[in-house]
Amino acid sequence: MRMASEGGPSLANGPMWRSGLVTAAIMLPPALILFTVFVILPIGEAAWYSFFNWDGFGRPLHFVGLTNYLQLLGDSAFDHAVADNLLIIAVSLLIQLPLALGLALLLSRRQIGTAVFRLIFFLPYVLADVAAGLIWRFVFDGNYGPISSLAVALGAGPVFLLADPRWAFSAVLAVIVWKYFGFHMMLYIAGLQGIDRDLYEAAAIDGATARQRFRYVTLPQLAPMIRLSIFFSVIGSLQFFDMIVPLTGGGPLNSTNTMVSFLYYFGITRMRVGFGSAVGVVLFVICVTFAFGYRRLFMRND
């Protein structure tokens, strides 16, 4: 009996192991090929092109070594783009996410009308970034936009927000908060609805106030979703691009460029593909470093 019981699992596991191996042999190569062609090879090519002074035509022949990277270090426009990315991250973490959490707390309960407000707040995220940029470009337009028209009606004169380097990026930040807070709100609502109601009842029985229930029940239970929201917010802020092109085009005076729009306007459109590739490599290193570092430090147990 002992020999039969010992031999049973090995016989049972043998066909299962072979079946799993066959499945992996069939399913893995197509996915690996697609990942290699569309991810690994472009990353490798960008890293290779970054060592050349290349306009994108023909083969890159003019090897310049680290010159493109050294130019980035002394480029004030790139420094400004990095600062803009950091400002987007700060606004996202300090304004957008707390706003999303506050609205999620108000709309997480199943009451009449909450579904309508959830839809209203989530609709901007569904709207395409390019369409949102075009809409807000009209809103901020100094000649025909409603904000400028209201200022004229109040006697303050026309307002050209997007043409003023001091205020253009503030307008962009306002649009970013409007566009993306609904996504994080829905994440928080999903997390809040997954919290066991018995925890709140037990805390209430123990005499905990609403603030104490939020601090000691809601926040700890919602912590994994908050960490995920922060991750999405930072990565999205580093890669922010689509709305810049229709909204400001990086202007005025390069005051609203991000690293990706800087890559596009100073690399691709000016036929400096090698220089743009260097920007892409720097951005890739920053994103990967943050992603793996954040995952290891804050999302290890999620």
Shared domain for 37 and 82, answered yes or no, is no
* pLDDT of res. 4: 45
Considering the domain architecture, whether residues 109 and 220 belong to the same structural domain is answered as: yes
**Is 218 a member of any domain?**
yes
Answer whether residue 76 is part of any domain: yes
pLDDT at 271 over 60: yes
pLDDT tops 80 at residue 124: yes
Model confidence at 220: pLDDT above 60: yes
Mean pLDDT value of segment 185-207: 91
CA atoms within a 13 Å half-sphere pointing along the CA-CB vector of 246:
15
| Residue 125 maps to a domain | yes
| 28 and 85 within one domain | no
Q: Are residues 21 and 100 in the same domain?
A: no
- pLDDT for 60: 87
Closest residue by Cα to residue 50 from 72, 75, 35: 72
Ranked by mean pLDDT, which of 1-5, 49-53, 206-210 comes out on top?
49-53
Q: What percent of the chain has pLDDT over 70?
A: 94
The whole-angstrom separation of Cα 81 and Cα 267 is 14
> Mean pLDDT over all residues of the chain?
89
Whether residue 47 lies inside any domain: the answer is no
Read off the pLDDT of residues 66-110 as tens digits, 9 standing for 90 and up.
999 999 988 999 999 999 999 999 999 999 999 999 999 999 887
Choice between 42 and 178, residue whose per-residue pLDDT is larger: 178
User: Are 227 and 140 in a shared domain?
Assistant: yes
Nearest-5° Cα angle at 283, 282 to 289? 90
- Reported as a single tens digit per residue, the pLDDT across 137-165 is 999 998 889 999 999 998 888 889 999 99
> Are 5 and 138 contained in the same domain?
no
DSSP, collapsed to helix, strand or coil, labels residue 215 as helix
Across 35-39, 241-245, 250-254, 289-293, least confident range: 35-39
- Asked whether the beta carbons of 171 and 161 are under 8 A apart, the reply is yes
Q: Is residue 224 a contact partner of residue 273, using CB atoms and an 8 Å limit?
A: no
| Owning domain of residue 175 | 67-298
Residue 51 domain-assigned (yes or no): no
CATH number, residue 156: 1.10.3720.10
Question: Would 14 be classed as within a structural domain?
Answer: yes
Residue 154 and residue 11 in one domain: no
Does 270 score more than 60 pLDDT? yes
pLDDT at 14: 62
The single-letter DSSP state of residue 52 is B
Together in a domain, 85 and 3:
no
CA dist., res. 146 & res. 124, Å (int): 19
Across 193-204, average pLDDT? 90
Q: What pLDDT is recorded for position 2?
A: 45
Q: Which of 29-33, 86-90, 231-235, 259-263 has the lowest mean pLDDT?
A: 29-33
Does residue 58 lie in a domain region? no
pLDDT for 277 beyond 80: yes
Q: What is the pLDDT of residue 7?
A: 47
- Residue 34 and residue 166 in one domain: no
Lowest mean pLDDT among 31-45, 180-194, 218-232, 285-299: 31-45
pTM for this model (two decimals): 0.88
CA atoms in the 13 A half-sphere facing the CB of 188: 27
Q: How many residues are recorded in the chain?
A: 302
Instruction: Give pLDDT, residue 47.
Output: 92
Mean pLDDT of the 118-143 span = 93
**The total number of structural domains that make up the chain:** 2
Helix 41-49 crosses helix 273-298 at what angle (to 10 degrees)? 130
